[in-house]
Amino acid sequence: MGFEGLLGNERLKENLIRSIGRGRISHFYLICGPQGSGKHTLARLLAAAAVCQQADKPCLTCNACRKVMANTHPDFITVEDPEKKTLPVRLVREAREDMFIRPNEADRKVYLFPQELNIEGQNALLKVLEEPPTYGVFILLTDNPEKLLPTVRSRCTELRLQGLPEGILRRELTQSFPKADQEAVSAAILRSGGYLGQAKDLLEEGAALAPQTESFVAAYVARDKLQMMELLVSMEKIKRDQFGQILQQWLELLENGLVSRCGMQAVSQLAKQLSVNRSPEDLLDAIGHVKKCMEYAQGNVSVAACCGYLLWHLR
Ligand SMILES: [Zn+2]
């Protein structure tokens, strides 16, 4: 069975199967990826691999694997407080003490930290990271590894989740939403950055791509100043919320275009157009200005002034 439950990410899965096949399970894993990229799925498969009783880990059929998947294994412990934005340090300390009690059933004891840890929490965890019990496996999830202390990060085996190719996304979305029309599926794929969880959320919200977004890409790709001006002038009267949503779409597309410029696959036609027609420097520059403009719009700057800013800066 292995890691098939995680879609895409073939190279990552091959590497994991190879190292786990050799009996190498790290004490610390840091799973990185944006919301909806499969962090929780991978964490669970890793936890199953750590306690699995069969040779082909994770087999997902043995008693231990099944218990992990059903969240009933006594040696698979999730450390979280869903009410809080970051993990309270108290829970890290409790987990730290619990770690020194030997596992109940398995050869290993797996702790999953799905929430972000603040500096205090990370420092509390660091003590264990420095001298883990031989049976301890710790899995941290983050959408941004840069937020972690270098001392924590350097001790972890980093697993980075990638966006999925369009074909897989379309197949999965069509299966999950058989009644959705292909236009809506395409818009969700485009806006998801390649992450299935995000694409599903977008389809559920019924969020289609704003017409201004397609116009933006057309003008930016063609370096058409007049078209860009017409577009931005037409946006001056838009309500602040809607303006923010449109800029969010632009930002996602630009980021997607930049990522695909760096060798990863573009998930949408529009992102592909951006990456083919504009240099990475241009894209990075535009990302910076759109972000800045979003900050202004969230503050007290008028939408019209924000449009003026973009007109001046987006070249
Ligand atoms: Zn198993």
CB atoms within 10 A of CB 147: 13
CA of 109 to the centre of ligand 1 (A): 15
Which strand (E) or helix (H) includes residue 226?
A: helix 225-234
CA of 50 to the centre of ligand 1 (A): 9
Look at domain 209-313 and name its CATH class.
mainly alpha
CA of 67 to the centre of ligand 1 (A): 9
**Sequential DSSP letters for 78-146:** E---TTSSEE-HHHHHHHHHHTTSPPSSSS-EEEEE-SEE-HHHHHHHHHHHHS--TTEEEEEEES-GG
77: which strand partners? Answer: 111
- What is the spatial distance between Cα 239 and Cα 258, in angstroms, rounded to a whole number? 29
CA of 284 to the centre of ligand 1 (A): 45
Q: Which two tokens stand for residue 199?
A: 């694409």
Residue 311: the pLDDT is 92
> For the chain, what are the domain ranges?
10-160, 209-313
Contacts of 88 (CB under 8 A, 6+ apart): 81, 121
CA of 66 to the centre of ligand 1 (A): 7
CB atoms within 10 A of CB 86: 13
Matching fold, domains 10-160 and 209-313? no
CA of 139 to the centre of ligand 1 (A): 18
CA of 23 to the centre of ligand 1 (A): 14
Contacts 24+ apart (CB under 8 A), 171-177: 172/7, 172/196, 173/199, 173/200, 173/203, 176/200, 176/203, 177/203
166, 267 contact by CB (below 8 A): yes
CA of 89 to the centre of ligand 1 (A): 32
CA of 60 to the centre of ligand 1 (A): 5
* Per-residue pLDDT in tens (0 to 9) along the chain, 315 residues: 689 999 999 999 999 999 999 988 999 999 999 989 999 999 999 999 999 999 999 999 999 999 999 999 999 999 999 898 889 999 999 999 999 899 999 999 999 999 999 999 999 999 888 888 999 999 999 998 998 999 999 999 999 999 998 899 999 999 999 888 777 888 788 778 889 999 998 888 766 778 899 899 999 999 999 999 999 999 999 999 899 989 988 998 898 888 877 766 656 778 888 989 999 999 999 999 999 999 999 888 999 999 999 999 987
CA of 152 to the centre of ligand 1 (A): 29
CA of 88 to the centre of ligand 1 (A): 32
CA of 159 to the centre of ligand 1 (A): 21
- What is the spatial distance between Cα 99 and Cα 207, in angstroms, rounded to a whole number? 44
Q: Which CATH superfamily is domain 10-160 in?
A: P-loop containing nucleotide triphosphate hydrolases (3.40.50.300)
Any idea which residue has 């959320």 for tokens? 201
CA of 171 to the centre of ligand 1 (A): 28
**Sequential DSSP letters for 229-262:** HHHHHHTTTS-HHHHHHHHHHHHHHHHHHHHHHT
CA of 27 to the centre of ligand 1 (A): 19
pTM exceeds cut of 0.75: no
Identify whether 114 is preceded by a cis peptide bond (ω within 30 of 0).
Answer: no
With CA atoms as reference, report the closest residue to 259 among 132, 117, 162, 174. Answer: 162
Residue 236: the pLDDT is 92
Residue 16: the pLDDT is 95
With CA atoms as reference, report the closest residue to 54 among 14, 85, 21. Answer: 21
CA of 306 to the centre of ligand 1 (A): 56
- What is the spatial distance between Cα 182 and Cα 202, in angstroms, rounded to a whole number? 14
Output the CA–CA distances (angstroms, integers) from residue 186 to 163, 197, 213, in the order listed: 15, 15, 14
CA of 150 to the centre of ligand 1 (A): 34
The size of the chain, in residues, is 315
Residue 265: the pLDDT is 60
Residue 287: the pLDDT is 96
- What is the spatial distance between Cα 289 and Cα 218, in angstroms, rounded to a whole number? 18
- What is the spatial distance between Cα 133 and Cα 93, in angstroms, rounded to a whole number? 15
CA of 68 to the centre of ligand 1 (A): 9
CA of 168 to the centre of ligand 1 (A): 27
